[in-house]
Amino acid sequence: MPADAEIQAADLRLMRGVAAGDPSAVATLYDRFGNLIYRMAYQSLPSRDEAEDAVQEVFVRLWRTSDRYDPTRAALVTWVMLISRRYMVDRLRRSRSAIKSSGLDEKLMDVQHGSAKGGASGERLDAEQQERFAALMKKIDQLPELQKTVVVRAYLNGQTLRQIGEELNTPLGTIKSALSRALVRLRERDVSEGLTA
């Protein structure tokens, strides 16, 4: 039996064991992919606790879908990463609506102006923050579609440029270029509005 066929057969046996609820199969799956999923989660999510929770949730999904694994369609690592990525995207979409606009405002404004703001200026009124955030989002909405998508995913969803490129099936260089052009446009609009104000 060729090496690839042996690996496929072993992976299929493993996932059948997981589907049957075999504790040793689940432990083997965790030993193989736990660290990989954790690193992916920690890169995408804001805290270690959330990354640890995400690992548990991904393994629940792997267990629930284990009977559907087909080694002829994808290597086990590819299948695990696909399920992990889908979970992270779902989680980020759900949490995006819960993020306070003030935090987003500061994050985007820091990028836009190229410097961090702190100290007393951090103690602004909520109404002022919301107004600034709404104005910034209006500017972002006016960007070309790819630029807008990259800015939102990078600064609101916390994704890396590599992740964005993979999900959009777009070369990393194109993603970097889109982000750079978007930030230049946002800065130019700030300057022009300052001159006309």
Show Cβ contacts of residue 194 under 8 Å, excluding neighbours closer than 6 positions. Answer: none
**pTM of the full predicted structure?**
0.48
The CA-atom distances, in angstroms, between 5 and each of 2, 115, 162 are: 5, 54, 31
Domains of the chain with bracketed CATH? 3-96 (1.10.1740.10), 101-196 (1.10.10.10)
What mean pLDDT is predicted for residues 77-83? 88
| Confidence bin at 1 (pLDDT 50/70/90) | low
Q: State yes or no: pLDDT of 7 exceeds 80.
A: yes
